[in-house]
Chains A and B, each alone.
Chain A
Amino acid sequence: DAEITQSPRHKITETGRQVTLACHQTWNHNNMFWYRQDLGHGLRLIHYSYGVQDTNKGEVSDGYSVSRSNTEDLPLTLESAASSQTSVYFCASSESGEWNEQFFGPGTRLTVL
């Protein structure tokens, strides 16, 4: 069955370190998204991609970057982790078209100390 996976599921890091969260989907979807979930804020869009070599900034992109070198993967990098980036991160993917619901990964809980 097609799926979307994230790794690691839990990560503890220190302020100032570079961190990369992996997202891999086997749906063959063109569209991929990264969100962060914080209490009281719901899901906020960090970055998104509509295809290979395409990346776009979302609502809360400062301090984050992504790259899309193939259809399956969209890694999220925190260049210099800050305590404000402690959150749960979700990756999602979708196909373009009328009924393009987003399929979500299981999430990564990141703690920045």
Chain B
Amino acid sequence: AQTVTQSQPEMSVQEAETVTLSCTYDTSESDYYLFWYKQPPSRQMILVIRQEAYKQQNATENRFSVNFQKAAKSFSLKISDSQLGDAAMYFCAYRSGGGNQFYFGTGTSLTVIP
């Protein structure tokens, strides 16, 4: 099974500042997809952003962007202009290209300081 590692259990950021959440993964596959999910206090899991491994260009969704380093097996999430509503648990996830199972990291709890 693939392993997804989030080495930062907790992070904090000042409102309007930028924060980067780290994620590394272990795989021998060349075709796969990577995802970041957000889980606010409501517990609802919300997809933030996704990246195909075969694409070199980093995905961007408004204030959220990723830094995908395929050789290093790294997939970090950058949140720009942090807002109070960004406070949540963030999960990194991996899915192989030919599969349907997701493998999740242990999560990073993000606090946004007003």
Would you give the 0/1 interface string for B83-112, flagging 1 where the beta carbon is closer than 8 Å to chain A? 000000001010100001110111100000
Chain B residues near A106 (CB-CB < 8 A)? 42-44
Q: Is B1 within 8 A of A59, CB to CB?
A: yes
Q: How large is the interface on A (under 10, 10 to 19, 20 to 34, 35 or more residues)?
A: 20 to 34
A101 nearest in chain B by CB position: B47
Q: Are A88 and B106 in contact (CB under 8 A)?
A: no
Which residues in B have some Cβ–Cβ distance to A below 8 Å? 1, 6, 9, 33, 35, 37, 42-45, 47, 50, 52, 91, 93, 95, 100-102, 104-107
A92 to B35, CA, bound (A): 15
Known: A48-B101, A92-B45, A101-B47. 6 other contacts (CB 8 A): A35-B104, A43-B104, A94-B100, A102-B102, A104-B37, A104-B45
Contact, CB under 8 Å: B45 / A96: no
Candidates B33, B44, B106; contact of A104 at CB < 8 Å: B44
Residues of A at the B interface (CB closer than 8 Å) are: 31, 33, 35, 40-45, 48, 50, 59, 88, 90, 92, 94, 96, 98-102, 104, 106-107
